[in-house]
């Protein structure tokens, strides 16, 4: 939005730092509720982790031991998606491409089958609606897979959405609801010393004032200058490299989202085949490496030999905001009026509708929805401090 169209009107406004899908989703909910909202984004909205994602909505297929609580949140989000897209289209005039063929998690040889069986047993023990496919059943669904592919888990409810189109739709819905947007705008410092007024200094020399501040800056959240120690989430960047090949849309090699032990493949309607993603502890090093690209192509070739003749049309890297428990950090911090929406790791696209709803509800009503309460910053307090607080509450 042009500089002259921005109005710093009142200290009662809400400022959101971060214009990825989660920041935009929160802003849209609050603007639709009638609040004065400004999103501040250091680059262009949706160009960081949102842009680098693959758009998988894989609550079931990605569930791992230790993520039982997170599953409640991701399954809720998964169920919201169809109606969320209808609402988003009505508000923005844009509808991101959504595909519901489902997801296949594949064992490419007999050595991988036992690990896949363990995964299947764990996930079905949680009540997830999954189907076990033998090799011949798998190849009936995906005839271009390597003939030695031994088995698969089929998840009919794990879908995909075009994440880049999603960002554009959310941005337009937010603006149509009256939200204000500052792109290419660096935050140089935060002042949260007053309970009812936050000051956000910008690289332009402006200072915004807000009653409520939401930090949705992904992997950069912890490093925002001036963020009080009590509100710093344990979020770090997890680098991921990905690439896209170009298939002939009418002759697609793949219909479903496909996972193997090495890679995932996500087919788009326009013929792009997205292959991802490495997981690297490299800080904010965004370089594309020969080793990263080789590992992705070789991993995909093991599953789909036919990719060898496809042109490579794009490669990129991004930074997942990772927490030590791979779950998001949501809700108000010990600093009154300062809220977090970060740490989504690999679930940022999936959880965008729930994140928008939960943070907006907390700001509007003062209460975080129950499903999000296990994911506040408080879970990272030392156990001794949590026990002391619990003891005092019951005295």
Res 229 pLDDT > 50: yes
Q: DSSP letter string over 35-57?
A: --EEEE-SSSTT-SHHHH---EE
Res 168 pLDDT > 70: yes
pLDDT (0 to 100) of residue 287: 98
Count the neighbouring beta carbons within 10 Å of the beta carbon of residue 91.
Answer: 19
Res 169 pLDDT > 50: yes
Residue range 55-91, pLDDT digits in tens: 999 999 999 999 999 999 999 999 999 999 999 999 9
pLDDT (0 to 100) of residue 46: 97
Say if pTM beats, i.e. exceeds, 0.85: yes
Domain boundaries, the chain: 3-52+165-234+325-393, 103-156, 236-320
Res 393 pLDDT > 50: no
pLDDT (0 to 100) of residue 179: 98
Q: What percent of the chain has pLDDT over 90?
A: 92
* Residue 386: pLDDT band with limits 50, 70, 90: very low
Res 9 pLDDT > 80: no
- Topology, domain 236-320: D-Amino Acid Oxidase; Chain A, domain 2 (3.30.9)
| Environment class of 180 (CB within 10 Å of its CB; exposed 0-12, middle 13-18, buried 19+) | buried
In DSSP terms, 154 is beta-bridged to: 104, 131
Specify the range with the lowest mean pLDDT, choosing from 10-19, 189-198, 226-235.
10-19
For the segment 7-35, the average pLDDT, to the nearest whole number, is 87
Strands across the sheet containing 207-210: 187-194, 197-202, 207-210
For the segment 128-141, the average pLDDT, to the nearest whole number, is 97
The candidate with the shortest Cα–Cα distance to 158, out of 59, 254, 83, is 59
Residue range 311-355, pLDDT digits in tens: 999 999 999 999 999 999 999 999 999 999 999 999 999 999 999
Residue range 275-311, pLDDT digits in tens: 999 999 999 999 999 999 999 999 999 999 999 999 9
pLDDT (0 to 100) of residue 390: 40
**What is the overall mean pLDDT for the chain?**
93
Name the CATH code of domain 3-52+165-234+325-393 (choices 1.10.1740.10, 3.50.50.60, 3.40.50.300, 3.40.50.1820).
Answer: 3.50.50.60
Q: What torsion, rounded to 10 degrees, do the Cα atoms 273, 277, 283, 287 define?
A: -40
Count the neighbouring beta carbons within 10 Å of the beta carbon of residue 386.
Answer: 13
Res 7 pLDDT > 60: no
pLDDT (0 to 100) of residue 387: 44
pLDDT (0 to 100) of residue 381: 83
pLDDT (0 to 100) of residue 391: 40
Whether the CB-CB separation of 189 and 21 falls below 8 Å is answered with no
Q: What percent of the chain has pLDDT over 70?
A: 93
Domains 3-52+165-234+325-393 and 236-320 share a fold: no
> Phi-psi region for residue 343, left (φ > 0), alpha (ψ -120 to 50) or beta?
left
For the segment 108-113, the average pLDDT, to the nearest whole number, is 94
In DSSP terms, 200 is beta-bridged to: 190, 208
């Amino acid at each position: 939005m042009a500089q002259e169209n921005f109005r710093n009107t009142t200290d009662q406004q809400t400022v959101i730092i971060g214009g990825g899908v989660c920041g935009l989703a929160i802003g849209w909910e609050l603007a639709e509720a009638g609040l004065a909202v400004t999103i501040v984004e250091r680059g262009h909205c949706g160009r960081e982790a949102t842009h680098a994602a693959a758009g998988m909505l894989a609550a079931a297929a990605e569930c791992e031991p230790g993520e039982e609580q997170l599953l409640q949140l991701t399954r809720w989000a998964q169920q919201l998606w169809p109606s969320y897209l209808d609402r988003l289209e009505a508000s923005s005039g844009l509808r991101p491409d959504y595909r519901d063929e489902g997801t296949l998690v594949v064992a490419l040889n007999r050595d991988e089958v036992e690990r896949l069986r363990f995964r299947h047993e764990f996930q079905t023990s949680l009540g997830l609606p999954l189907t076990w496919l033998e090799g011949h059943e798998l190849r009936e669904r995906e005839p271009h897979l390597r003939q030695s592919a031994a088995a698969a888990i089929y998840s009919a409810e794990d879908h995909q959405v075009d994440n880049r189109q999603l960002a554009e739709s959310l941005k337009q819905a937010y603006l149509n609801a009256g939200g204000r947007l500052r792109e290419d705008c660096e935050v140089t410092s935060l002042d949260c010393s007053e309970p009812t007024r936050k000051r956000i200094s910008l690289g332009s020399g402006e200072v915004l004032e807000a009653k409520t501040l939401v930090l949705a800056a992904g992997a950069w959240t912890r490093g925002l200058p001036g963020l009080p120690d009590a509100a710093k989430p344990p979020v770090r960047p997890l680098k991921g490299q990905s690439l896209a090949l170009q298939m002939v849309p009418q002759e697609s090699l793949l219909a479903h989202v496909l996972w193997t032990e090495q890679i995932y493949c996500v087919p788009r309607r326009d013929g792009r085949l997205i292959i991802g993603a490495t997981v690297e502890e490299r800080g904010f090093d965004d370089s594309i490496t020969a080793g990263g690209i080789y590992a992705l192509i070789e991993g995909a070739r093991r599953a789909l030999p036919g990719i060898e003749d496809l042109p490579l049309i794009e490669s990129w890297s991004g930074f997942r905001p990772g927490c030590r428990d791979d779950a998001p950090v949501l809700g108000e911090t010990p600093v009154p009026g300062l809220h977090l929406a970060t740490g989504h790791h690999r679930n940022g696209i999936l959880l965008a509708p729930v994140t928008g709803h939960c943070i907006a509800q907390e700001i509007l009503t003062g209460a975080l929805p129950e499903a999000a309460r296990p994911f506040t910053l408080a879970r990272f307090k030392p156990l001794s401090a949590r026990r002391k607080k619990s003891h005092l509450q019951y005295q």
